Amino acid sequence: MKKELLFIVFICFAVQRILTAQIADQKASEKWDPRLTEAWEVAPKIVTPGNGTSAPSDAIVLFDGTNLNEFTHENGTPAQWDIKDGAMTVKPNTGAIFTKKVFGDYQLHIEWRAPVVVKGEGQGRGNSGIFMQSRYEVQVLDCYNNTTYSNGQTASIYKQSIPLANACRPPGEWQTYDIIYTAPRFNIDGMKTVPGYVTVIHNGIVVQNHTEIKGTTEYIGLPKNIAHGDGPIQLQDHGDLVSYRNIWIRKI
């Protein structure tokens, strides 16, 4: 009985010590100077936002509606797509175009338009694509009242990730993609150690939310993961008269 009484006394004493310490800590924290938890050493850089269709002050303008100087075909020849009224339009059978500059992680703004004259259906209607690092496709397709396989519709990560919504405007109307892309990482042995991720905002609506990229977006077969560094942005020639304008990019 005596031992049990001593044990109870010990427990009560320990609990009292704990409560006393907690009260003391609380009172001490209330006396802290709030400046102790303020960060001043590193300040974010100043970026001037764009007005209307203008790009932010730190962006690289890839297409301003006047020329294709920032693009080339895969074989290195000058881009041959047509330019009219501040937009570039796919010139069928000339091939995809690629940025001359290469990029890793970035924020990309791009506007696109499916042809006003509707031809075909499914994947044969207003088809093009934006390839990050020329490997991973965000689908461009006219899916306004047009049905196709869900992981191949507008704003899908082609054959991998179904968009969260169909935010398509009618054919002939301009649409926007804002793409935040984080490139995959590979070790010295060529193995992927960190997957790539992409967020896509289509006409102001989030349709891909930090989506993992499983590898290359293959038409046939499974994704491939071959080690690579920075790469160009590719715009696809799928034979349809898809137009692009107001393209700018910010490195992250």
CB within 8 A of 209, min separation 6: which ones?
164, 199
Q: Per DSSP, what are the bridge partners of residue 186? A: 192
User: Mean of the per-residue pLDDT values for the chain?
Assistant: 90
Q: For residues 60 and 82, what is the distance between their CA atoms, to the nearest angstrom?
A: 22
Q: For residues 246 and 240, what is the distance between their CA atoms, to the nearest angstrom?
A: 20
Confidence of residue 32 (pLDDT cuts 50, 70, 90): confident
Q: Going along the chain, which residue ranges are E strands? A: 60-63, 71-73, 82-84, 87-89, 97-99, 106-113, 128-132, 136-140, 175-182, 185-186, 192-194, 196-202, 205-213, 234-235, 243-251
- Say yes or no to pLDDT of 8 above 60: no
CB within 8 A of 242, min separation 6: which ones?
89, 90, 112, 113, 114, 115, 126, 127, 128, 140
What sign does the CA torsion over 13, 18, 19, 21 have?
A: positive
- Say yes or no to pLDDT of 24 above 90: no
Full-model pTM: 0.85
pLDDT at position 28 is: 59
CATH 1.20.1250.20 fits 60-251, yes or no: no
Instruction: Find the mean pLDDT for residues 102-107.
Output: 98
3-state secondary structure of 36: helix
pLDDT at position 9 is: 45
Encoding tokens for residue 250? Answer: 């910010």
- Is 157 within 8 Å of 213 (Cβ atoms)? yes
What sign does the CA torsion over 79, 80, 83, 88 have?
A: negative
pLDDT at position 3 is: 54
Confidence of residue 97 (pLDDT cuts 50, 70, 90): very high
Of residues 100, 160, 143, the one with CA closest to residue 242: 143
Q: Going along 39-134, which residue ranges are E strands? A: 60-63, 71-73, 82-84, 87-89, 97-99, 106-113, 128-132
Q: Per DSSP, what are the bridge partners of residue 201? A: 178, 206
- Residue range 218-252, pLDDT digits in tens: 999 999 999 999 999 999 999 999 999 999 999 99
Encoding tokens for residue 243? Answer: 């137009």
- Residue range 128-180, pLDDT digits in tens: 999 999 999 999 999 999 999 999 999 999 999 999 999 999 999 999 999 99
pLDDT at position 38 is: 86
Which residue ranges make up each domain of the chain? Answer: 2-37, 60-251
